[in-house]
Amino acid sequence: MPDNLVGTLLTSLVRAAAVTVVGPAGLVVAPALATVCIWAGEQLGEGARPFAESLTHVFGHLAGDKAKEAFSSLRETGNHDLERMAAVAFRAALDAIHIRIESAGGLLTADYDRWFLLWRGRLDRAIRSGDAASLFHAGEADPVAIETAGEEKWWPLFHPVLLRWAGEQREFKNDHSASGSLPPDLESTLADELLGLSRQATREVLRESDFERSWIAWQQSFLAAVARQTQQTNADLARRLDELSGRTNEIRQYLNDEIERLHLRLDRVDETLAQIRAAIAELHGTAALRIPSYPWTPGLPPGAMLRAEYAVVPFFGRQRELQDITSWATSGDPLRIRLYTGEGGFGKTRLAIEACRHLRAEGFAAGFLSRRISDPELARLAARLGQANAREAVVIDYVEIDQGSLVGLLGALRERRAGHVRLILLARGAGQWWDRLKRRGGGVGDLLAGPATGEPLRLAPLAFSAEERSELFRAATGAFAEKLGRAVPAGPPDLTAPYFDRVLLIHMMALIAVEGTHAEGQEAILDRVLAREISFWEDLLLARGLEPALQDGLLLAMAAATFIKGVPDRSQALGVLRGLSFFATEREPVLEALAQGLHDSYGGRQWIDPLQPDLLGEHLVSKALHRFGPDSFNRVLGI
């Protein structure tokens, strides 16, 4: 095939391949392009050059330009903000490099630290403002071009953007960025590592709940837009084919055959749309039940390393409990209910997460019930649980707080118990709230006081003996050292104190040891871990250009959010801040920046989650009340 024709065809195929970045439509259209163009070049020979070039133009326009138009129009709909996703991934990658440099020692200077903080601040502001597109100016590569560039071109595309982000900060007007350069060691490190970390972070971002559902819905919209663009191209396609068809009978016959085949391939777009619609329907049906398991990244609040959802420390022990749950779940009556109790830090949530994974392997649809589930979603879930083929295990964490969801499910299941359903309830203890539920009407009390529900099971300590606790400590130090890029410390300290019945306190001691410090006693352990969180808040204020003097207010705000078990939306977050006397005279833009900063860092099941793990959050509340007085939260509570 002639070289210039090869170049034209390759350009078209590259365009088609680029479609796969924004949706699966490229996988459907690209094979058709390849078939037509390759056949034209190889079978019809040199004389078919005008024919092949025209087809390449038509199909390249369809797969490339039309897909680009669809992509651009959808970007304005808000169904899925690709720039925001890229910004979140870039932020995670920069955070990871920052941690690695800091852990290595020697390279990091105060100047380098400021580079990272200012870059992160620029990304944070764009992400929280919803205007992540402003990160990339005219003349610069956009996120799609950056993410799809090869290793040799990626850094030259992203390097000037990083310089501009820093240059937009007044602190750097006369610094390196003004001359268009980075410190050599820092530039070399970023060029070597940022590409791989950014692409890894992009994959992790797509797993997050904030992006998962909108990503699927956006792809559906993209395919629909490509289908519309395909229809709009029909007139152009018909005109060009008509021009070509008069050339030779051979070409005319070929065109008739290929047009029929192409139509068959384009029909697959509709099939793909139908499949995605079905996937979205399935997602809606199962969204109420999820296993809360997320990848840990360096930019997360420090407490995340200790949370069950991030599973930084490998699951340890509890094999007897897991076998018991599996046996209980797979046998017996259609509906069975079990309540597990234990103090904060005993490992109830982590056990339930592992149990869900085991039960999924047994064919159950198992997961935690969302605490933000709406009434219609709860009704759909209850209807699904009542079906004859149901095989589901539902975990309700903090059930003593979230009694409404349990009551709603039991009320529906009382009339429809055809499937195989297991309810696993987690609480601190079985107190008066449990007794009241067992006396509740509407058939709810009958289920909880009847044979479907066993006696509450109190979770035993994970490690009784000094040997077991030492083994658990070593596993935790190894995991933390790997994540933080530090050395594994020497042998375990004395872990015989009674408070080490709580596995979380052993993990905290391990984290403190990895960081090269020490603490004696439960209060000192919690103080040291809380100090890590306070340091994170200092960085949060700096990254957003807020005064360091606001740190006490930020501490009070997180304590208040923890005290009221989280904040469900932005307006209530602002209400909490206004309700604290610390912020009585503060300007509204500062309060809005603080609220957004807390959401960006602690958003999860709610707009702002309580500080977790619970043991750490309770320690924060206790410290805040002791320091600022017992009436600190009165206005927040409406007292």
Q: What is the pLDDT of residues 51-77, one digit of tens each?
A: 444 444 444 444 445 554 554 554 444
Output the pLDDT for position 188: 82
Name the DSSP letter for residue 383.
H
CA 138 vs CA 142, 180, 194, 444: distances in Å: 9, 18, 23, 62
Output the pLDDT for position 434: 93
Name the DSSP letter for residue 289.
E
Output the pLDDT for position 170: 54
Q: Which residues contact 73 (CB under 8 A, 6 or more apart)?
A: 225
Question: Which residue type sits at 457?
Answer: L
What is the greatest pairwise CA distance in the chain? 93
Neighbours of 204 (CB within 10 A): 15
Angle (deg, nearest 10), helices 503-514 and 522-543: 60
555 close to 526: Cβ distance less than 8 angstroms: no
Output the pLDDT for position 558: 94
Output the pLDDT for position 26: 36
Classified as helix, coil or strand, 211 is helix
Output the pLDDT for position 536: 92
- CA 224, chain centre distance (Å): 26
Strand pairing report for 335-341 and 420-427: parallel
Beta bridge partners, 391, equal: 420
Give the DSSP letter string of 316-369. Answer: -S-HHHHHHHHHHHHSSSSEEEEEEE--TTSSHHHHHHHHHHHHHHTT-EEEEE
Question: Which residue type sits at 296?
Answer: W
User: What is the mean pLDDT, run by run of 10 residues, along the chain of 639 residues?
Assistant: 36 35 34 38 44 43 48 47 74 81 60 76 75 72 67 82 74 50 80 81 67 59 61 60 59 66 62 54 56 85 91 88 92 88 90 91 87 78 79 90 85 73 92 91 87 90 86 92 90 90 93 91 94 92 89 92 90 91 90 92 88 93 88 68
C-alpha span between 463 and 345 (Å, rounded): 12
Q: In this predicted model, what pLDDT tens digit does every residue of 214-252 receive, in sequence order?
A: 555 555 565 666 566 666 665 566 666 666 555 556 666
Output the pLDDT for position 409: 84
H-state helical runs in 61-105: 66-75, 82-104
Q: Which residues contact 566 (CB under 8 A, 6 or more apart)?
A: 605, 606, 607, 608, 609, 610
- CA 522, chain centre distance (Å): 33
Domains of the chain plus CATH, in order, are 3-76+212-286 (no CATH), 82-207 (no CATH), 318-458 (3.40.50.300), 466-637 (no CATH)
Listed as own residue / partner, the contacts of 181-184 with beta carbons closer than 8 Å and 24 or more positions apart are: 182/115, 183/111, 183/112, 183/115
Output the pLDDT for position 571: 93
Angle (deg, nearest 10), helices 551-563 and 522-543: 120
378 close to 350: Cβ distance less than 8 angstroms: no
C-alpha span between 427 and 404 (Å, rounded): 14
Classified as helix, coil or strand, 458 is strand
Task: Please calculate the CA angle 296-299-301 and round it to the nearest 5 degrees.
Answer: 80
Output the pLDDT for position 22: 34
Output the pLDDT for position 622: 92
